[in-house]
Amino acid sequence: MADGISSFWGPVTSSHEWCEKNYVYSSYIAEFYNTLSNVPCILLALVGLLSSLLQRFEKRFSILHLSNMALAIGSIMYHATLQHVQQQSDETPMVWEMLLYIYILYSPDWHYRSTMPTFLFLYGISFAVLHSVIRFDIGFKLHYVMLCLLCIPRMYKYYIQTQDISAKRLAKFYFATLFLGSLCWLGDRFCCAQISSWPVNPQGHALWHVFMGFNSYFANTFLMFCRAQQRDWSPQVVYLMGVLPYVRIEKPKTR
């Protein structure tokens, strides 16, 4: 919802704006709350990355945490500028991230090891090129939802196969944050006219960013636990400062 206030970035060229007044606090930040709300995702991804590196998890998890950070940084660029070219830096990493989740979820049961990563890599590159030429809007959202739906059945399979109560709690947090974040996204997207008349805007899209930051962290942590079980690394869910869960592993000693 552009307000005609002078901005550093010029006219809005993105295919969509969210239910937040533009350039209220700074001429350099179009949507203030939607921009800053990506910071928790970056911090959580950093915690996950350090845990992965220090305990020498497989590189796929380090890449996954880095992709979460890249997505959040792309979202910052998009909401701060509302420019079409920066919108690409938000939406394309969203698709790449989901392709990485698909690989991590399905690769343990995939017999042809080189086929899946090759296909997903080519798919991701093809989407990036196509999305840079064609302005997807509804098509992009439907495509993203489809990729998410491909992940959920395997996440549920891992959930029912896991006996550890703390690990199951991570999966429950994953679904809870996904549900709450989706409600915030839908409310901000389709009820903006009503929300704009309220004394205070609840900033539903910013809340979506916060919930999805935690959602990604819980998903990553749960998948790290499941993978550690597959590798017989004796995983345990412990808590950083008694609050933030992460996976501690103990790899078998090699002679």
> Is 31 assigned a ligand-binding role in the annotation?
yes
Name the CA radius of gyration of the chain, rounded: 19
Q: With cut-offs at 50, 70 and 90, classify the pLDDT of residue 253.
A: confident
pLDDT in tens, 195-236: 989 999 999 999 999 999 999 999 999 999 999 999 999 999
Please answer whether residues 215 and 40 qualify as being in contact, where contact means their C-beta atoms are separated by less than 8 angstroms. no
For residue 249, the one-letter residue type is I
Q: pTM surpassing 0.75?
A: yes
22-69 pLDDT tens trace: 999 999 999 999 999 999 999 999 999 999 999 999 999 999 999 999
CB 92 within 8 A of CB 248: no
Distance of CA 82 to CAs 7, 166, 234, 239, Å? Answer: 11, 40, 46, 38
209 has binding-site annotation: yes
CB of 209 closer than 8 Å to CB of 37: yes
Per-residue model confidence as pLDDT tens digits over 68-104: 999 999 999 999 999 988 888 888 999 999 999 999 9
What is the predicted pLDDT for the residue at 254?
65
Q: Check whether 58 is labelled as a binding-site residue.
A: no
16 is in an annotated binding site: no
